Amino acid sequence: MSGNGQPWRLATIVASQTALLTAVLFYFGWARTSTTFAYFGVDVSLLGFSTSDYLLRSVNSAFRPLLFVGLAGVVGTAIQQWLVAALEDDGDGSRRWLR
């Protein structure tokens, strides 16, 4: 029975990550656009930007932070895997004290 829920689990994970990334990109796009037009004294709500406009405007602002978070995640995963391999029990209990 657990095999039947596997596609839904994967779809839920992908959908939630996509929604989170879209929300972050939307915020970065809105903040950048709002700040840019506020400099000129224009209220952004008057311009009628769509969601895709905000997402496209966020690319320049959000690329570096998202790249940094992604690289930190990859490095963190590599370090965690290395630590797990280094602290594995050899069978004689010599590394048990490290845990």
In a domain, 1, yes or no: no
Question: Which range of residues forms the domain containing residue 61?
Answer: 6-98
In a domain, 60, yes or no: yes
> What pLDDT does 79 receive?
94
In a domain, 54, yes or no: yes
Question: What's the total number of domains in the chain?
Answer: 1
Confidence of residue 90 (pLDDT cuts 50, 70, 90): low
> What pLDDT does 1 receive?
47
Percentage of residues in the chain with pLDDT exceeding 90?
Answer: 45
pLDDT exceeds cutoff 90 at 73: yes
Whether the model pTM is above 0.85: no
Residue 58 — φ and ψ, nearest 5°? -85, -15
Q: Which DSSP string do the residues of 43-66 spell out, in sequence order?
A: -GGGTT--HHHHHHHTHHHHHHHH
> What pLDDT does 86 receive?
78
Average pLDDT over residues 55-71: 88
- CB atoms inside a 10 Å sphere around CB 16: 10
Average pLDDT over residues 55-70: 87
Burial 25-60 (b: 16+ CB within 10 A, else e): bbebbbebbbeebeeeeeeeeeeebeeeebbebbee
pLDDT averaged over the chain?
85
Identify whether the C-beta of residue 44 lies closer than 8 Å to the C-beta of residue 34: yes
